[in-house]
Amino acid sequence: MKDQLYQYILGIADNSLILGQRLGQLCGHGPSLEVDIACTNISLDLFGQVRSYYQYAAKLAGGDASEDSIAFLRKEREYRNVLLVEQPNTDFAYIITRGFLFDVYHELFLERLMHSKDETLAAIAAKSIKEVRYHRSFSSEWMKRMGAGTEESHRRVQDAVDSLWRYTKEFFQPTEAEKAMAEAGIGVDTSSFKATYDQHIAEVLQEATIVVPTSPYFQRGGKEGVHTEHLGYLLSDMQYMQRTYPNMNW
C-alpha cells in the first residue's frame, strides 16, 4: 500500500511539475506583459503544489529521498505524467489549448481529492483548488477569445485542439496504483467525472466555435513511464543544475 501511495502521488505531482516547467519556459515570451505574468504565475502555482506532494512522497520513500531528488534526479521512465503536459510550446494557441484540456481535468480532480481519507492529500487539494480554478478560468476565457476571434486565431485554436485531443483520454485510464488508491478511498476514481469533463470541454469549445474532434484514436503511456520524445529534452534542461551542482535545495 505504501509503494502504491508513493506512485499515486507521483502520478498527481508529475503532471503539475512538467506543465509548470513548460510554462516556465515562456517567461519573457508572452504575447503581452499581462499574459506573460499570468503564465509565469500559473507556473509558480503548479511548482508550489508540486513541492507539497514531493515532500509527502519523500517521507514515504524514506532514506535519502527529498523533494529535490524526487523532482530532479529520476530517469525519464520514472516520471508518471500524462503525455499531454509534456507537449512543446508550439504557439500561443497550442499553449492555451494544452492548459485548458488539463485545467478542466485538474479542477474536477482536486474537487474530489479534497475528500480523500488521506489527510495530507486532502489538505494539499484544498489549498490548491483556488489556484486551479483560476487556471481553468484563464485558459477557458482565452479559448473563447481566440476561437471566436479572427480567422487566424480560430484556425490556430482548431489546429491545436485537433492535435492535442489524442492525449485527453489518458486522464481516465487508471494505473494499478490509481485503482488501488480509489478502492481504499484515498485516491479519486476519475471515471466518476469523465462525463462532466466532456461536458465542460464541449461547452467551452461550442462557445469558442471550435469543432470537437471525433477521432477514436488516442495515445497513452505517460502514466506507465512511456513518454514522447519531448520529455527527454525537457528533463535535460530541468535537471541540469541539480546534476551539475549536486545536493542543491529547491
Q: Which domains does the chain have, with CATH numbers?
A: 2-244 (1.20.1260.10)
pLDDT digit string, tens, across residues 139-189 = 999 999 999 999 999 999 999 999 999 999 999 999 999 999 999 999 999
Question: Across all residues in the chain, what is the average pLDDT?
Answer: 94
Q: Spell 177-212 as b/e; 16+ CB within 10 A means b.
A: bbebbbeeebbbbbeebeeebeebbeebbeebebee
Rounded Cα–Cα distance for residues 83 and 93 (Å): 18
Q: How confident is the model at residue 219 (pLDDT cuts 50, 70, 90)?
A: very high
The kind and range of the H/E element at 10 are: helix 2-24
- Render pLDDT for 101-149 as a digit per residue (tens, 0 to 9): 999 999 999 999 999 999 999 999 999 999 999 999 999 999 999 999 9
What number of other Cβ atoms are within 10 A of residue 44's Cβ?
A: 15
63 CA to centre of own chain: 28
Confidence of residue 225 (pLDDT cuts 50, 70, 90): very high
pLDDT of 15 reads 98
